[in-house]
Amino acid sequence: DKEILSIQSSDNIYADQSSRLLCLQCLAQEWRIRESIHWQQR
């Protein structure tokens, strides 16, 4: 049982890291879009 629990917790940690990376990528994309719009308005 302990082995299964450790595997599950490590999976959760990995999922957390990947979701954080996805969030960062989404934020970067959004920022770039906002920047391009900002420059176009000038």
Give the pLDDT confidence of 5-19 residue by residue, as tens digits.
Answer: 666 667 776 677 788
The C-alpha atoms of residue 16 and residue 38 are separated, in whole angstroms, by: 33
Which string of DSSP letters, residue by residue, matches 28-41? Answer: HHHHHHHHHHHHHH
Q: Give this prediction's pTM.
A: 0.49
How many other C-beta atoms can be found within 10 angstroms of the C-beta atom of residue 15?
A: 10
Give CA separation, 32 vs 9, 25, 28, 42, in Å.
Answer: 35, 11, 6, 16
**What value does the mean pLDDT take over residues 30-37?**
93
